[in-house]
Amino acid sequence: MKKKQQQQHGGAGGCPDTRPPAAAAAAAGGGPGPGGGWRRRRPLSLLPFLSLRDYGFCMAALLLFCLGSLFYQLNGGPPHFLLDLRHYLGNSTYLDDHGPPPQKVLPFPSQVVYNRVGKCGSRTVVLLLRILSEKHGFNLVTSDIHNKTRLTKNEQMELIKNISTAEQPYLFTRHVHFLNFSRFGGDQPVYINIIRDPVNRFLSNYFFRRFGDWRGEQNHMIRTPSMRQEERYLDINVCILENYPECSNPRLFYIIPYFCGQHPRCREPGEWALERAKLNVNENFLLVGILEELEDVLLLLERFLPHYFKDVLSIYKNPEHRKLGNLTVTVKKTVPSPEAIQILYQRMRYEYEFYYYVKEQFHLLKRKFGLKSLIRKPRPRPEFFIPSPLETEEPIDDEEEDDEKWLEDIYKR
């Protein structure tokens, strides 16, 4: 009797079955439907509250997240579009948590200035720099101004600002006297330069202004159109011996101001300008080379500044480059008489003191790096027998060659 009651009120455990009759019947396998009168219920879904469209949206969002993570790992940081999105939506906390993204690693030094001295091989070096900048990817910064080496204070500030804001690594080149960047609050760049024997530099400039070089027979006419015929064909000995302005001081005092700087006394031939130029060479110039030993200059530049001058020597020795370089040789040069040369030595005594000082420093540097100079008969230093008075009249602006124009002409050939 008890057993029968237990079957009526529950299961074998004696617990009453609280399910409604229809659910109980379905659990027992009966009910409406095929074969049993009731349809068997499907198992519960993991996300019973999502529709198929919502489920597709979630999968698309997950895919975007995965792609974003992939970009993060490949680029070493978060994708730019995600940072822009976070910035658009609100202040991002990424920089607070991780700091700024790593900056571009720059070579050292990454700021170089070549304030090239006129008629000291500068056009050859500029042509090499054009090739090297394309090869190594540094920023070669040039100027459209070629005949203004002395600047006012405001002009100095403006030029320094323009140079300092250039994309690094850069190499800036222009005919300009030494600029002190730190005086105006800028980072002092590394300077490089090349000089040559002062008398040879003067003679090259003298005849170049009158007759040009092998690049074209008429280029000197374009460069000095206002020069009178009697001045153009003025004999070099007459110019020197009769003390024409072009062949006397202060115009012969040319190299030292490129290293002395923008101070007015730097344009006056004397000990003050000479000593200041030496000081700047020691403190601000990585290398001052000698044009007569140009291959050694290029070799040292390649060692000191490989990210700028790597392979420069092989490019310089290339026959095609040599062919272009020969076009810059000044034509119709003549040698002055010994008397005229002796007078030039006397007028350029400070230039020669500086030249031999730089040459000695350059040879010390070569020996330090194991470079041997070519064995040549040393040229005797000039003897200054008769000290001549050095005039200090206001210098006349020297006309410089438009380097950019002749380079463009070469590339067009």
CB 227 within 8 A of CB 210: yes
Calpha distance 110→369 (Å, rounded): 23
Assigned token pair, 218: 């008429």
Low-confidence ranges of the chain (pLDDT < 50): 1-4, 6-7, 9-14, 22-38, 42-44, 92, 214, 217-218, 220, 222, 375, 384-413
Per-residue pLDDT, 81: 61
Per-residue pLDDT, 402: 47
Per-residue pLDDT, 229: 85
Q: Which DSSP string corresponds to 117-162? A: PTTSSHHHHHHHHHHHHHHH--EEE--S--S--S--HHHHHHHHHH
Q: ∠ CA 10-15-18 to the nearest 5 degrees? A: 70
CB 10 within 8 A of CB 17: yes
Number of helices and strands in the chain (H, E) = 20, 5
Calpha distance 43→41 (Å, rounded): 7
Q: How far is CA 62 from the centre of its chain?
A: 45
DSSP H or E segment with residue 198: helix 198-211
H helices of 212-348, in order, are 219-223, 229-232, 236-241, 257-260, 271-284, 294-304, 306-309, 312-317, 319-326, 338-347
Active site (catalytic) residues: 175
Calpha distance 276→155 (Å, rounded): 22
Q: Which domains does the chain have, with CATH numbers?
A: 111-372 (3.40.50.300)
